[in-house]
Structure 1
Amino acid sequence: MSFWTAIVLIVIIGCVTSVLQERYKGKRGVTTDWMGNERINAPLEDPAEKAAREREIADLRERVKVLERIITEDRDTKRLSAEIDSLRDR
């Protein structure tokens, strides 16, 4: 192998490596601005996952409202306090 063949192979290997690196970064959402700074972009969100998360949040908020109502009822405050104390003593 001649000297110039080795140089051409090294340049080709360098170019292929650069292309593969950029491809890998592109799949992972990494972009480079005009100054060379890399930034990770958030991946696009699946609408089905977003809807499921919104339903779960709504369900959890409803549960919190029920728990707040249970805790703040005046008529059972003494009974609730007694139950908490009995659980604490165990």
Structure 2
Amino acid sequence: MFNNPFSMVVAIVLICAIAGVLRARFKAQHGIYEDEKGKDIRFHDPEADRLRSEVKQLKDRIAVLERVITDERGPRELDREIEKLRDR
């Protein structure tokens, strides 16, 4: 198949082109793009940061609720815990 130099050059160019497309696809999936100088820059999504913060807050609230439900403290302590959740 690769018995002449022309076919070898075509195969090498084709392999490099495929590798470039796969590299660009991988970078795009992970939010990385190149600037004018060819330097890689990671895209910063403020929406993602807001969602991470919200998930953390919800996990904290769930932890408090689990602790309140499983604790065997009195109803007065339960009322305080619920008020803490409302204040957030």
TM-score with structure 1 setting the length: 0.51
The letter of the residue matching 1:36 is G
- Deviations along 1:9-61, whole A, 9 cap, x unmatched? 0000010001111111111111111111111123552876543334538xx9x
Is the counterpart of residue 9 in structure 1 residue 11 in structure 2?
yes
Please, which runs of 5 or more residues in structure 1 have no aligned partner? 67-90
Root-mean-square deviation over aligned CA pairs: 3.3
Q: How does 1:1-90 map to 2 (within 5 A)?
A: 1-42=3-44, 45=48, 49-55=52-58, 56=60
**Distance in structure 2 (CA, Å) of the matches to 1:46 and 1:40:** 14
**Distance in structure 2 (CA, Å) of the matches to 1:31 and 1:9:** 28
Identity %: 20
CA distance 1:49–1:35, change in 2 (3 Å): closer
CA distance 1:18–1:52, change in 2 (3 Å): closer
Please, which runs of 5 or more residues in structure 2 have no aligned partner? 65-80
The letter of the residue matching 1:37 is K
- Deviations along 1:53-89, whole A, 9 cap, x unmatched? 34538xx9xx9xx8xxxxxxxxxxxxxxxxxxxxxxx
Matched position secondary structure for 1:31: strand
